[in-house]
Structure 1
Amino acid sequence: MQNTSSAHPSSTKTLFKHGEYTITLEGHVIKAEFTGVATENMMKQYHADVVSLVQPLQGASWGFLGSIHGTGVLTPETEALLVASLQERMKIGMRGCAVIADGAKIPAMVVQQLARVFKKASMPYLFCSSDEEGFKWLAEQGCVSS
């Protein structure tokens, strides 16, 4: 069961039984917060929400800055969905992912898994420790925050 509420057109918060995420568009960067376990339904809804959120950018370069809290581990099914999602998002202007995994229960495992996902998707990525570091790297990739 999911509950989606939108605070304003550039923000989406979605709750699922085992996890939740919040995404906000800041200039040309999607800022995301993830908590809990990513299920297949959650991953599919997340992809749809991201595509909808970046629609106003009309193909301009954009990036992703995400923070992971709690479990943060993907199942093989959700890992495959994330690879496909990243490949689709690259077609509509996504240029890079910066991830803060320090808040995950087992950061090293999350980093290892996401590095594998980003490599499979051929997505440029950075693991960082702060929003500032992530925004700076994304700006170098051509993605500007507000």
Structure 2
Amino acid sequence: MNDHTYKITAQDNILFVDASGPFDFDTMLQYKSETLEAIEKLKHEPWGCIACFHGSGVFSPEAEEELVLLTRERMRKNMAALATVIQDSRQADIQQMQLSRVYESCNTKYHIFSDVKAAKTWLANYLKKQPN
């Protein structure tokens, strides 16, 4: 049984994702579909994503591959940067390694935080510097 849940919301030019893992392939496909739908209204100007992961949000190898594809698609749809927050995780080091590998393979501007407020501040400052 999987204990995964996620919520996707968009506000102004920021997509917020609040997720608890673990993340298997089926969950990732559903998440990918809902994310692509949510960014349709953001894609007309540079936007950013704040993804908050709670608990053991380790990705299966197949889910990690899908996250690479999703990240590339988000970048094609004008995503400027990602701020990732890892909280309450006994596997934070593994999660950080996986996410860094995904984002770096996509050449995505990102930063990983343990605090939501710091993530929001960094992303807001980064987005202010982007040409519209």
How many angstroms apart in 2 are the aligned matches of 1:74 and 1:128? 18
How far did residue 17 of structure 1 move? 4.0
**Runs (5+) with no aligned partner, structure 2:** none
Greater fraction of residues in helix: 2
1:64 paired to 2:64: no
| TM-score, reference length from structure 1 | 0.80
1:53 equivalent in structure 2? 38
Letter in 2 for 1:72: G
Alignment of 1:71-110 (within 5 A): 71-110=56-95
Runs (4 or more) in structure 1 with deviation over 6 Å come to: none
Aligned residues: CA RMSD: 1.7
- Indicate if the aligned counterparts of 2:43 and 2:79 stay in contact, CA closer than 8 A: no
Give the structure-2-normalised TM-score.
Answer: 0.88
C-alpha distance after superposition, 1:59-106 (max 9, x if no partner)? 211111111112111111111110011001100111111111132221
Shift of 1:58: 4.0
Three-state SS of the structure 2 residue aligned to 1:126 is strand
1:17-43, Cα deviation, whole Å (9 max, x unpaired): 441101111211111111121111211
Aligned residue pair count: 128
Write the distance in 1 (CA, Å) between the matches of 2:19 and 2:29. Answer: 14
Rounded to whole Å, the distance in 2 between the matches of 1:76 and 1:57 is 29
- For 2:103, the aligned partner's letter is F
Do residues 120 (structure 1) and 102 (structure 2) align? no
Structure 1 segments unaligned to the other structure (5+ residues): 1-15
8 Å contact from structure 1 (residues 20, 36) kept in 2: yes
Percent identical pairs in the alignment equals: 26
For 2:36 and 2:116, how far apart are their aligned partners in 1? 22
Check the 8 A contact 1:36/1:70 in 2, yes or no: yes
